[in-house]
Amino acid sequence: MRHIFYTVISIICICACNLTNSAAQGRMLVDQVVATVGDESILWSDIENQYQQALIEGMKYNGDLRGYILEQLLVQKLMVNQAILDSVEVTDAEVVAETDRVLTIYSNQLGGQEKLEEYFSKSYQQIRREKIESTRAELITNKMQQNIIKDIKITPSEIRRYFSKMSQDSIPNIPAQYEIAQIVVYPEIEQKEIDRIKTRLRDFQKQVAEGRDFATLAVLYSEDPGSAARGGELGWYSKNGGLVQEFATAAFNLTEKNKVSKIVETEFGYHIIQLIDRKGDRMNCRHILLKPKVSADSRKKAQEFLDTISSLIDRDKITFADAALNFSMDKESRSNGGVMISSDGSTKFALSDIPAAIAKAISNLKEGEYSKPFQMIDEARGKETYRIVMLKKRHEPHKANMQQDYAMLQRIMENMKQRDMIANWIKKHQKEIYINIAPEWQDTKFDYPGWIH
């Protein structure tokens, strides 16, 4: 059986976009209903649009990709239908954030927002509006999946039994992996640069007070790539719904529509915020973000500071771990003595998962050695940083084993159980809802034959 549901979510999140792009397809779509699940229909254009998006993303699939996409949409409709019955919902803020994340990826891959508009023959606002509803379905499907698998538990004895029964041919090969520690310093922003930014933002506040449109200023001047194109609008958020604390506090202190906040500093830069609307404990706002520029002198000081730390470590005046704890500005790693942690909680990174600048820095290091200070961009915050990285350990390529790869084997078992549980859920619910697939699609090789009653 093909990878079932995590692939489902990734393909839908990458591809789903209910947009018509006849230019990219090279012909006009003649729409028709391909399948019906309950009261919901899947159109030929839904499948074709996702197919085109998959091609943009460079997706490789050994088989009938359109048939595969149809089944993912069938699963999505099935889960969204059950989500309505179970009152499973997602917030507008979640939908907006994911929509903007995906559209940013599309824009980057196509060469910018203008290229995105050209590709779809629509304005960015039209593209975004049409994407929002498909994103809502994706996120609801994801939440339903999490509800289905939430009670799965894997015991150590299960993992041992699973591994003991694996044939040598089925034991996975593990590529070289690296454990890395880092000390991160953000160059200091000079006061004159902060003053310049604040003066500019005060001028924007004055212009709005005199009648200029805040959204127009955001389009022209905001340095937030995710929101500038839509006039700085962020969408609906609750106070604890994903906004950084300083921003959320300032935004929720606004009580009048169109009121503009004082200047707010966050880890991303300096903002002014305008309230669009408020409903209960949720609010929608727009903002203008300006990011201070780092001077050559500040860069030099950051590098010299790290040179001093390196010297202290060299002379055994302080350990690398203690230096990270006391001096690193990276919140995620400093409390671990600088040890980097992956998204799944592991300290081991395959080379392909390491940022290019760090990979280059460790390429010639032996275990226990650390690099000279180097500059790189913090992608999450869009800020310049200087770093020293230590290669703590290099794990050579090897066959998986219980001693070195217990966490990975545990994830494999969890994924197997999750796939089985989701497969059983789908088979059960296929029998409980009206499903109809057009005759010309009924020969599709589905993972779940229960679609054809």
Q: Return the amino acid letter for 182.
A: Q
pLDDT at 30: 57
At 87-112, the pLDDT tens digits run 988 888 788 878 877 887 788 778 88
How many whole angstroms separate alpha carbon 93 and alpha carbon 265?
22
> Which residues, 6+ apart, have CB-to-CB distance to 451 below 8 Å?
35, 71, 74, 430, 435, 437
> What does each C-alpha distance from 286 to 123, 220, 251, 282 come to in angstroms?
20, 14, 9, 14
Classify each residue of 79-105 as buried b or exposed e, where b means 16 or more C-beta atoms within 10 Å of its C-beta. Answer: bbbbbeeeebebbbbbbbbbbbebbee
Beta strands in 314-448 (DSSP E): 349-350, 374-378, 383-395, 398-399, 435-437
Q: How far out from the chain centre does Cα 450 lie?
A: 33
The token pair at 38 is 């309950």
pLDDT at 13: 41
SS3 286: strand
Mean pLDDT of successive 10-residue segments in the chain (453 residues)? 41 40 41 92 88 77 91 94 90 81 79 83 83 88 92 89 88 92 95 96 96 95 87 82 86 93 94 92 91 93 94 95 95 92 86 92 94 87 89 93 86 90 94 93 91 85
- Cα diameter, the chain: 76
> Which residues, 6+ apart, have CB-to-CB distance to 296 below 8 Å?
none
Q: What DSSP string runs through 9-63?
A: HHHHHHH------HHHHTS-----EEEEETTEEEEHHHHHHHHHHHHHTT---SS
pLDDT at 258: 93
This prediction has a pTM of 0.60
pLDDT at 99: 84
Beta pairing, strands 398-399 & 173-174: antiparallel
How many whole angstroms separate alpha carbon 144 and alpha carbon 131?
20
